[in-house]
Amino acid sequence: MQIDPKNDPKSWEKYFKDILRKIYCPSSIKDIPDSYGGDFGIECYSFSGHALQCYLLDQHSDKDKLSKAQKNKIRKDIYKLAIKNFASFTILFEGMYISRWILATPYYLDTEMALYCAGRN
């Protein structure tokens, strides 16, 4: 029996990281465990300068609720990356320039999200 990763946040995270290992090569990404105190707003990062995060909202059929939750996730995690955990990331990244923050979500129902992500909404 195959498990659908879109049914459980931890399964979605594992699925996301499995894909990343194929894209980046296992030796080119560094995992950030979330067991104690959270993950600083990223699941892992690549040595090529990409900060990677995944997100699965339990209830996704309501477009407005999903869009609001995704926008909140983006806003909170960018804040964690750029301000709240900046000192920790400075140490963690060891002078590496982060050129891209990527959020992977299995559901994308609102075209306005593209504008939001571009800072136009």
Look at residue 121 and tell me whether its pLDDT is greater than 60. Answer: no
Tens digit of each residue's pLDDT (9 = 90 or more) over 34-69: 775 666 788 999 999 999 999 988 766 788 888 899
Contact 55, 68 (CB under 8 A): no
Position of tokens 């301000």? 83
Average pLDDT value over all residues in the chain:
84
Contact 103, 53 (CB under 8 A): yes
Q: What is the pTM of this model?
A: 0.82
Angle at 36 between CA 96 and CA 43, to 5 degrees: 40
